[in-house]
Amino acid sequence: MSCYQCRLRWLIVTVMGVLAAVGCAGMEAPSPMPLKTPTPDPPSGSVNETGSPEYLVGMDLFQRNCSQCHGQKATGSEVGPPLIHEVYHPYHHPDFSFRAAINRGVPAHHWHFGSMPAVPDLSEGDVENIICYVRSLQRDSGMPVTAAC
């Protein structure tokens, strides 16, 4: 290898190292999102309160399994984030991410509440009904969500 090739190789490696260092400068773990308040409550006379069986079953399952952290109407609490929030819009958190969080738990990544543990003993149908209920609450609070039930 010629001296010219060695210098060229050294120059390329150096430039790549500098670019990588500049590109990573200031990168750090994402900080938790601040909780925007107030979070809109869904109307008390929600269309689905006397509606589909999926919604009613989802409401009951949500109250028994999720509300202690996410609040009675998914508006959040001192220990869990609001699911009626733009970060949980289906474009950012599609239904499969809700399924995974419920079935396997999820590490904290948007909020300061800590990681969410898995919710045991829920069937696939139970999870779908909970998602139906949450999406309906999101829609009823004004989010542009099409609820599946």
- pLDDT of 146: 83
Can you give 54-90 as a three-state secondary structure string?
Answer: HHHHHHHHHHHHCHHHHCCCCCCCCCCCCCCCHHHCC
Give domain 47-140's CATH number out of 3.90.110.10, 3.90.1580.10, 1.20.140.10, 1.10.760.10. 1.10.760.10
pLDDT, tens only, 44-99: 544 445 578 999 999 999 999 999 999 999 999 999 999 999 999 998 999 999 99
pLDDT in tens, 22-58: 554 444 444 444 544 445 555 454 444 557 899 999 9
Nearest to 123 by CA among 115, 131, 113: 131
Domain locations in the chain as residue ranges: 47-140
Return the number of other C-beta atoms located less than 10 Å from residue 96's C-beta: 9
- Residue 92 to residues 38, 74, 145, Cα–Cα distance (Å): 21, 17, 12
pLDDT (0 to 100) of residue 41:
53
pTM: 0.68
